[in-house]
Amino acid sequence: MPSLENCFTLFKTDITGISIPKKFTFPIFYEPHELSLIATRELQEYLEQPQDWQHNFWNEKTGAGEAAGKMFGVLVVQKEEGELGYLSAFSGQIDGTMDIDPFVPAAYVEDFDKSYCDGQFKEFTKLSNQVAALEQTKEYTTALNNLNYLKEKASLLLEAQRKKHKLQSRELKAQLRQSSKTLDEQEFQKLKALQHQQHLNQKFLYREYEIYLLEKQQPFQVIVDQYQQQMEMLTQQRRQQSLELQDWIFKQYALLNARGERKNVLEIFNELQLGAPPASTGDCAAPKLLQYAFAKALKPIALAEFWWGKSSKSQIRKHKQFYPACRSKCEPILGHMLQGLDVEDNPLLVNPAVGKTMDVIYEDEAIIIVNKPEEFLSVPGKTIKDSVYSRLKELYPEATGPILVHRLDMSTSGILVATKNLEYYHFIQEQFVSRTITKRYVALLDGVLENENGMIELPLRVDLDNRPTQLVCYDYGKEARTKYQVIERRDAHTLVHFYPITGRTHQLRVHAAHASGLNAPIVGDDLYGTATNRLHLHAEFIKFIHPVTGKSVSFKAPVPF
């Protein structure tokens, strides 16, 4: 492990008079402390200088690989004698290594046997080469080509035979219909039986022809199966060895906490019954920083992580912006590593709706229209039960409903529709499914749009490493379409109407912020932009067919920003 002198950085900035926080940063949701901000600024000044190591943060044409930004972190720490400084780290690797001064090293044990990993990777390469060699064997490729040719030919021949039989069947049926007018019952039944036998004969001949074509393929099929079984066996062996190596690596990450206790990544995930840890768990900046601090008897004071460089094509990451630790990899292991530290309360467990009122702006025998405030759950969460749904249940204790027909993000304000029974719910829900409902949102964007209107089409899927954040994904994402119309431009901001055609999670937020969308995040978006006093997104208007009157009804809630 690198010496403390290599990784511990004294503040260049005068920090005299800045109070040390009473509690350590809650890493999943935080506002950076002043000391963290100073440490971040100093690290960013260092990153702006030429370095001995290489990483392509920005320019796709450098020849140094595809441009890829990276997460960095700073951990303000205090030595036993009271001296303050900070540690810095990056997630994953830079220039093919995890060990670059002045950054803290990887979080795995000091006696980590890299030679074992190298040996395993050589074995993986060997197995992969064996599979590739089998795939290129002349006997295999010749048999596979012949087999594919015969299969394609058989498919065409059998299709032609089916069409021929179908035509013959139609002719026989027509003959039977015509004969029913001229033949007596006994002769008609004989003809019908004869045609039935002809039909059976056709099926038999078709099956015999099918078997004949398969027999022609059989010699090549035997050869192909033999090779593919060998390839599958080697692939399975490689897969099993990969899983065993991954488990071995996770066991090398014996993570410390403030009490001096160690648990490896595999133990932590097993205890929490989370299944197999995601690949590279333990390699993010926050675990690296805490591991080094505990190993060197440094007291963690405050933490911050920020993005440096270009965002990937799927994620939304802004240069120099702060982000929380990821949920899937870091949250479980940080739960162990933070034990023994006095940590800030988890703000995600605090009910944001305390003291807020929920206005019912319309009600009749079938529907309830609510104007939901911002930072207010639509339905109960895992830990916070207060929500639009729960409050409606309190308001209408005798009703079989209310049933929310749709939802809004907790941070989004505006109109929600509820019904008083299941029949009315299904009536309106069908309009959502068929996309005949008209919805209009108002959003204030951080940026000035050039176009007056347009359509955004970016497919979305959940970020499995960081739920509930969404990714743009053309391979596995669901269709997501949004129309927009500029209302007015306000200095560096643009007020727009959004008309969502589909209703994906965080659709408007991602479509606004993503570089392939409007490239202008919604003001106050703490996930895809920059947090402010609130998310400036409001569900202003909705129109649908009333379940009782059958007439079109519409409702509007005034924009609160």
pLDDT at 61 over 60: no
Range list of β-strands (E), 221-277 = 254-256, 262-264
Q: Global pTM?
A: 0.78
pLDDT digits (tens, 9 = 90+) for 302-335: 999 999 998 888 888 889 999 999 989 999 999 9
- What local confidence, expressed as pLDDT, does residue 1 receive? 55
Average pLDDT over residues 77-104: 92
pLDDT at 2 over 70: no
Whole-angstrom Cα distance, residue 429 to residue 400?
Answer: 17
Triad 372, 428, 369: Cα angle to 5°: 25
b/e per residue, 538-550, with b = 16+ CB within 10 A? bbbbbebeebeee
Identify whether 402 is preceded by a cis peptide bond (ω within 30 of 0): yes
What average pLDDT is seen over the chain?
Answer: 91
- What local confidence, expressed as pLDDT, does residue 19 receive? 94
Tokens of 4: 């403390």
* DSSP tag of 478: B
Q: Catalytic pick from 283, 409, 446, 525?
A: 409
- What local confidence, expressed as pLDDT, does residue 62 receive? 47
pLDDT digits (tens, 9 = 90+) for 330-353: 999 999 999 999 999 988 888 888
Q: Is 409 a catalytic residue?
A: yes
- What local confidence, expressed as pLDDT, does residue 59 receive? 65
pLDDT digits (tens, 9 = 90+) for 210-229: 999 999 999 999 999 999 99
Specify the amino acid at residue 426: H
* Percent of all residues in the chain with a pLDDT value above 90, rounded to a whole number: 71
Closest CA to 176 of 157, 201, 194: 194
DSSP track, 155-191? HHHHHHHHHHHHHHHHHHHHHHHHHTTTS-HHHHHHH
* Percent of all residues in the chain with a pLDDT value above 70, rounded to a whole number: 98
Residues 6+ apart with CB under 8 A from 519: 447, 513
**Do 292 and 303 touch, CB atoms closer than 8 A?**
no
Closest CA to 238 of 113, 121, 119, 117: 121
DSSP bridge partners of 522 = 445
**Do 198 and 173 touch, CB atoms closer than 8 A?**
no
- What local confidence, expressed as pLDDT, does residue 175 receive? 86
pLDDT at 273 over 80: yes
Average pLDDT over residues 352-380: 93
Domain 351-556 has what CATH class? alpha beta
**Do 8 and 298 touch, CB atoms closer than 8 A?**
yes
pLDDT digits (tens, 9 = 90+) for 282-296: 999 999 999 999 999
Average pLDDT over residues 515-534: 92
- What local confidence, expressed as pLDDT, does residue 258 receive? 95
pLDDT digits (tens, 9 = 90+) for 404-443: 999 999 999 999 999 999 999 999 999 999 999 999 999 9
**Do 23 and 344 touch, CB atoms closer than 8 A?**
yes
Whole-angstrom Cα distance, residue 32 to residue 344?
Answer: 12
